[in-house]
Structure 1
Amino acid sequence: MQIVRLDSAEGQARLAAIHHRYAAVADADVTRTVADILRLVRETGDQGLFSLTEKFDGVSLSPQNVRVELALLEKLAEQAPADARTALRLAADNIRSFHELQREYTRVMEQADGVQLIHRIQPLDAVGIYVPGGQAAYPSTVLMTAIPAQVAGVPRLVAVTPAKTFLTQPILAAALVEAGVTEVYTIGGAQAIAALAYGTESIPRVAKIVGPGNRYVAEAKRQVYGVVDVDAIAGPSEVVVIADETADPVLVAADMLAQAEHDELAAAVCVTTSETLATAVAEQVSYQSATLSRREVVEAALDRFGTIVLVESLAEGIRLVNQIAPEHVEVMTAEPERVAEAIAYAGAIFIGPASAEAVGDYFAGPSHVLPTGGTARFFSPLGVYDFVRRTNVIRYTMGRLVKTADMIAALADAEGLDGHARSVRLRIERHSGPLTATTNPLSESKQNLLVIEPPPEAASEPS
């Protein structure tokens, strides 16, 4: 485990390598391959989708078997270990309770002269959830993506997942059943993203695609963005642990290793003011990694992107964390709340030794779908707000238009848009003759703000 000082050339080079590791995710060949896959599915529908699935996954599909029958879904779910199913159920309750706090409602601004300005909130009509296969199955991600959409009131939730993984990992079926997702298709890869985005004869299109995947899936989501919405173009995962001499090196090392086992591009960083702690953490990382089942993945990630950074003060460490803007930040210091308050840019912050990142990954309640690669500077965790549409509604009255027409027309004239100005003046002339005077439109009318209209209860459950 490499220990570097922040002000050294070696430290700056190491941090730069961590920041630029996303360049390894997609390259020109991936971009071209994905573009060809998307084009084939868009142009040929089921035919292209099934041929690609047979080519890449070795699975023969047809319109009759691409969708998982409900009886099979439930049968597979029952095969999951009982303790895991219980844990899924309790985790789902926590996730649902937290995301209920994020629900948005239609708001109406009513004014005394009858004008209404409405901020209307409506759920998306359909959301696709990508459930990855490959090296590991992530039932927790099913809950973290489906439940916020469900709380938002999305009526149609669709899951896609590679057939081989799905049929051999009953815990995925258990998570889908627990989340209330019963429309499931056994397709994966970039071709699954294409089917969700464009639709085929067997799979109706969706409005948004969420969920992680490999670099081909990530690139497919990037290319279909605009045709549909996507949650984010997720990159490799990362954790930064900011610690002082009071931290337990055993726990710091354990959490760094928990991050490194995701994949070979994962980054695990400790930022500390203590040389003693840095040495102890490096020793613990070496000791603990030897017993992990994914040791090769862990060691590859740590060799490339595992770093312990020595800083002069916690203030300097906080500045570095904000510069990295990581997906996860753990705070293990004598005064963790004070340090956490100063961290402005992070996907999720874990305060104190009991708040292991794994608590957030699986059970606490907030979604673990978080911005990566420094995008926490402007992106937020996945939430209920990601599954609604916002529409502005304006209901003006002729009385208000009479008072404001001259001002509206003056602004239109200033922009050289005489058609805009005419559309207002014609209304006034047809109503009561030429407009000759105006008053302050708000001087005689008070506003009633935030009249809340909760969405109908029927919209809160998926079909």
Structure 2
Amino acid sequence: MRIMRAEQFGLKREVEYGSPEQNEVVRTIVEAVRTEGDAALLKYTEQHDRVKLDAASLRVTQQEIEAAYAKVDAAFLTAIREAAVNIRAFHEKQMRVSWMDLQPDGTLLGQILRPLKRVGVYVPGGKAAYPSSVLMNVIPAQVAGVPEIVMVTPPATGGKEGIDPYILVAAAESGVKEMYRVGGAQAIAALAFGTATIAPVDKICGPGNIYVALAKRAVFGAVDIDSIAGPSEIVVLADDTADASYVAADLLSQAEHDEMSSAILITPSTKLAEAVAAEVERQLATLPREAIARSSVDNYGAALLVDSLKDGIDVVNQLAPEHLEVLTADPMSLLGLIQNAGAIFLGPYSSEPVGDYFAGPNHIIPTNGTARFSSPVNVDDFLKKSSLIYYSKEALMANGDKIITLARHEGLEGHARAIEIRLEKERGIQ
């Protein structure tokens, strides 16, 4: 792990827009699925996933789900159920309600909250299968009241055996009733535009590879999306009180996700930086995903030296990391200074995986510096809001001329006349 002054480190990562070739592949797939439906869906599934299906076999059957339960161990089932309870309890606290405000003049203003009708959840395969991400997407939507939640996942997340049984069980435990064995850009297009087999959705959530990300960008507008997820990130802000083995382990917990993941230590202590660098090397040697984690650490990892913790927080706020751990003598005293971070973990026992799996807050968090303006997945992501206006005669008579003034200032005479005709009639002007 490199050790350097913070000012020597490039704080900005390039946003991933994909190569021209990747974008062209995605455009071709999305348009084909939009116009050809299931035929294109099956063609690209065979071409990219090496799995030949027909339309009748796209949907996961109840028998497959029951068989998946027989393949998962009891400890996993207990853990996933307890995690689901925690996640649900946390997100239930986010729920807001519709409201109305009756004015003295009889005007009624308000906001009506309604859940989206149908949401699609993408669960990736690739380097690993993530049952925990199923819970983090599905449960907030359920809490919001979404009546239809559909899951898509590549047909071979479990290798030759088909879909990973742990994904199927996690989905079933979350309450998903509709699941399809399809992935990649073709799955995103199917969710967005619909096919004879898969009905279209209102919103698509869930991470995926670059082709999934580009497909989500391509269909945005036809449907809503959660975000364009980038590689995972962790920043640890630490002082001399931090345990170097804890810091190294937490950095590697994110580095093992992907070669492009970012794992950064920020500290005023040269001694800690050197100890963590040595500990990272020691722990890498026995990490099963060593090659991935090492590439991440070598290319996107560093121990950044600062003059003080306050300077370190300035760097944190510039990075706006997905995950931030604060391992200092008094982490709570620094909380008010942290402006940009997707999730904040305070103290030596709040290791990032606590949030990934079990505590309750959502682990789908803004990446690539977007924590400057966006938030983790939450219940609001699955609610739509309608403004309510019941204007009384008294209010219109009192304010109509002001509305006319504003409309005519913008050159919109039709707007002005829509108000004027009412005022003239009520005032007896012929």
TM-score range, shorter chain: over 0.9
Contact 2:332–2:346 (CA under 8 A) maintained in structure 1: yes
Residue 426 of structure 1: aligned partner: 421
Q: Are residues 1:87 and 2:79 paired?
A: yes
CA offset digits 1:135-170 (Å, max 9, x no partner): 100000000010000000000000000111153521
Aligned to 1:5: 5
Counterpart check, 1:233 vs 2:225: no
Distance 1:77 1:175 in 2: 10
Opposite residue 5 of structure 1, the aligned amino acid is R
Deviations 1:283-334 (A, max 9, x none): 1000001101101101111110110001011111000000000000000011
Return the alpha-carbon distance in structure 2 between the equivalents of residues 304 and 139 of structure 1. Answer: 28
Cα contact 1:329–1:350 (8 A) shared by 2: yes
Matched, 1:128 2:128: no
SS where residue 117 of structure 1 aligns?
strand
Q: Read off the aligned partner of 1:306 and give its amino acid letter.
A: G
The Cα of 1:341 is off from its aligned counterpart by 2.2
Shift of 1:114: 2.2
Work out whether 1:192 is the aligned partner of 2:184: no
Match of 1:77, SS? helix
8 Å CA contact 1:124–1:387 kept in 2: the answer is: yes
For 2:26 and 2:386, locate their aligned partners in 1 and report how far apart those are by CA, in whole Å: 33
Q: C-alpha distance in 2, partners of 1:168/1:47?
A: 21
Q: Is the 8 A contact 2:42 2:55 kept in 1?
A: no
Task: Please state how far the C-alpha of 1:29 moved relative to its aligned partner.
Answer: 1.2
Q: Supply the distance in 1 between the matched residues of 2:361 and 2:253 (Cα, whole angstroms).
A: 19
After the TM superposition, which residues 266-415 of structure 1 pair with which residues of structure 2 at under 5 Å, given as runs?
266-415=261-410
Aligned to 2:13: 20
Separation (CA, whole Å) in 2 of partners of 1:258 and 1:408:
58
CA–CA distance in 1 between the matches of 2:217 and 2:244?
39
Q: What amino acid maps onto 1:433 in structure 2?
A: G
How many equivalent pairs are there?
Answer: 427
Structure 1 residues not aligned, in runs of 5+? 436-463
Structure 2 CA distance, aligned partners of 1:340 and 1:265?
Answer: 28
Pick one of 193, 198, 201 that aligns with 2:196: 201
Aligned to 1:438: none
What letter matches 2:254 in structure 1? Q
SS in 2 for 1:129: strand
CA distance in 2, matches of 1:138, 1:177: 14
**Over residues 84-127 of structure 1, what are the superposed CA-to-partner deviations in whole Å (9 max), with x where a residue is unaligned?**
01100000000000000111211101123321112010000111
Q: Which amino acid aligns with 1:218?
A: A
Q: Give the secondary-structure state (helix, strand or coil) at the position aligned to 2:18.
A: coil
- 2:206 counterpart of 1:214: no
* TM-score, normalization by structure 2: 0.97
**Counterparts of 1:420 and 1:365 in 2: how far apart (Å)?**
49
| Counterpart residue identity of residue 246, structure 1 | T
Counterpart amino acid of residue 214 in structure 1: N
Q: Deviations over 1:151-206 (max 9, x none)?
A: 00000000000111153521111100111011000000010000000111110000
**CA distance, structure 1, for counterparts of residue 100 and residue 410 of structure 2:** 30
Mapped partners of 2:66, 2:205: distance in 1: 23
Q: C-alpha distance in 2, partners of 1:78/1:385?
A: 36
- Given the two structures, how large is their TM-score scaled by the length of structure 1? 0.90
Instruction: Assess if the C-alpha contact under 8 Å between 1:106 and 1:119 holds in 2.
Output: yes
Q: Counterpart of 1:102?
A: 94
| Corresponding residue SS for 2:26 | helix
Structure 2 alignment gaps of length 5 or more: none
> C-alpha deviations, 1:215-268, integer Å up to 9, x for none?
110111111111111100000010000000110000000000111000000000
Whether the 8 Å CA contact 2:325–2:352 is kept in 1: the answer is: yes
CA distance in 1, matches of 2:174, 2:88: 10
Equivalent residue of 2:57, what SS? coil
Is 2:251 the partner of 1:256?
Answer: yes
1:53 to 32, 36, 45: 45
The offset of 1:21, in angstroms, is 5.0
**C-alpha distance in structure 1 between counterparts of 2:278 and 2:77, whole Å:** 37
Distance 2:383 2:292 in 1: 38
Residue 64 and residue 168 in structure 1: after superposition, are their counterparts in 2 closer, same or farther (change >3 A)?
closer
The worse-fitting range, judged by mean Cα deviation, of 406-415 and 286-295 is 406-415
**For residues 282 and 81 of structure 2, what CA distance do their matches in structure 1 show?**
35
Query: Does 1:67 find its partner at 2:62?
Result: no
Deviating more after overlay: 400-409 vs 203-212: 400-409
Q: Partner residue of 1:459? A: none
Q: What secondary structure does 1:212 align onto?
A: coil
Task: Give the 3 Å change call, closer, same or farther, for CA 408–279 of structure 1 in structure 2.
Answer: same
